[in-house]
């Protein structure tokens, strides 16, 4: 098995049957307790049967409960070391935390999110998306809500190195642009849940038009995958005070940076020229002698 078991459980939740999802949520809510629990005890905590626990283990890629519990123990041990390294007793933010606790806990979560995203990212998929982008005559990037921030960041980076990119926070404009794509074009959708209706529809239209399609999502088995030729999965887990615009955003931006650098490397000479030209364009002297920052 590859990747953190808790990340995989978070991703698998939308695809599990209700009883299996209860087992997964029980593990996510208190992994330390589950590590020390028998299969009978876990079934009791999740208000289900031992047979359901076995089916749950198989659904997330394990032969049975013993193998699952070993992997879970290793994951919780790693996380304990990470908490100690960050100087915090627990990762969750609570109402009594002071400013130092809040800063340390958010820094810990965001650093771990980037590390887990990098560890689990499909290298071959990333490389294929980068190659498609470098060769594309036209690129669309879709995203709404907080995901539109990462979408616009990718679009601006690619535009800065001379690629023709469309990106708009307006869902109707995204749909209209997708309908005009042709084979050879590339469309990338950014959606944490993988179920955002407007984003899924835009990518589906792009796919129907023959464009190469890719998605950046935390749930690679969600609806967005059906319209994606390639999927780049993030590893963001939200907690009480960390709404979707926080953890998911930092993971999406990390993938954007990975992707941008690989595209830039594949057309290095063109990239260098474009960066110099665009830098010069936005650093011209102002009439009063000041310079843009």
| CA max distance for the chain | 76
**Rounded-to-integer distance, Cα 189 and Cα 217, Å:** 8
Residues found in the chain? 293
Cα–Cα distance measured from residue 26 to residue 210, given in angstroms and rounded to the nearest whole number: 42
Q: Sorting pLDDT into bands at 50, 70 and 90, what band is 244?
A: very low
pLDDT of residue 243: 41
pLDDT digits (tens, 9 = 90+) for 133-144: 999 999 999 999
What six digits make up the tokens of 80? 């304990």
pLDDT for 118 equals: 92
Q: Out of 73-87, 154-168, 213-227, which region has the weakest mean confidence (pLDDT)?
A: 73-87
pLDDT at 94: 64
What pLDDT sits at residue 115? 86
- Determine what percent of the chain is predicted with pLDDT higher than 70: 88
The dotted CATH code for 123-280 is: 3.40.50.10490
To the nearest 10 degrees (0 to 180), the angle between helices 5-12 and 18-29 is 140
* Whole-angstrom distance, CA of residue 268 vs CA of residue 60: 41
In percent, how much of the chain has pLDDT > 90? 60
Which helix (DSSP H) or strand (DSSP E) does residue 118 occupy? helix 99-120
Give Cα separations from 234 to 74, 76, 208, 219 (angstroms): 21, 20, 25, 8
Cβ neighbours, 10 Å, residue 40: 11
- pLDDT at residue 291 is higher than 80: no
Query: DSSP states of 236-284 as a string?
Result: ----TT--TTTHHHHHHHHHHHHHHHHHHHHTHHHHHHHHHHHHHHHTP
More confident residue, 49 or 78: 49
**Spans of all domains in the chain:** 1-86, 123-280
Mean pLDDT of the chain: 87
Helix axes 99-120, 247-266, angle to 10 degrees: 40
Residue in 28, 19, 95 with CA at minimum distance from that of residue 59 = 19
User: Kind of pairing, strands 165-167 and 186-190?
Assistant: unpaired
Q: In this predicted structure, what is the pLDDT of residue 274?
A: 81
Q: Considering the domain 1-86 in this protein, what is its CATH number?
A: 1.10.10.10
């Amino acid at each position: 098995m590859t990747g953190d078991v808790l990340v995989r459980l978070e991703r698998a939740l939308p695809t599990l049957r209700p009883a299996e999802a209860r087992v997964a949520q029980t593990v996510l809510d208190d992994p330390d307790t589950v590590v020390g629990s028998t299969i009978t005890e876990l079934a009791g905590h999740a208000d289900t049967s031992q047979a359901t626990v076995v089916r749950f283990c198989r659904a997330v890629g394990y032969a049975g409960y013993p193998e699952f519990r070993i992997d879970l123990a290793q994951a919780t041990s790693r996380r304990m070391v990470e908490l100690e390294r960050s100087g915090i007793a627990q990762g969750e933010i609570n109402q009594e935390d002071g400013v130092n606790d809040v800063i340390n806990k958010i820094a810990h979560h965001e650093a771990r999110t980037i590390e887990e995203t990098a560890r689990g990212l499909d290298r071959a998929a990333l490389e294929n998306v980068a190659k498609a982008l470098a060769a594309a005559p036209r690129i669309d990037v879709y995203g709404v809500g907080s995901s539109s921030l990462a979408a616009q960041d990718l679009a601006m980076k690619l535009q800065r190195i001379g690629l023709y990119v469309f990106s708009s926070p307006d869902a109707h404009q995204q749909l209209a642009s997708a309908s005009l794509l042709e084979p050879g074009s590339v469309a990338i959708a950014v959606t944490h849940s993988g179920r955002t209706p407007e984003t899924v529809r835009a990518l589906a239209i792009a796919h129907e038009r023959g464009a190469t399609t890719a998605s950046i999502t935390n749930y690679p088995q969600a609806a967005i995958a059906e319209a994606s030729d390639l999927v780049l999965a993030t590893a963001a887990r939200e907690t009480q005070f960390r709404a979707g615009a926080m953890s998911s955003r930092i993971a999406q931006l990390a993938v954007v940076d990975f992707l941008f650098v690989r595209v830039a490397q594949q057309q290095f000479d063109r990239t260098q020229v474009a960066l110099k030209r665009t830098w010069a364009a936005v650093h011209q002297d102002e009439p009063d002698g000041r310079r843009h920052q």
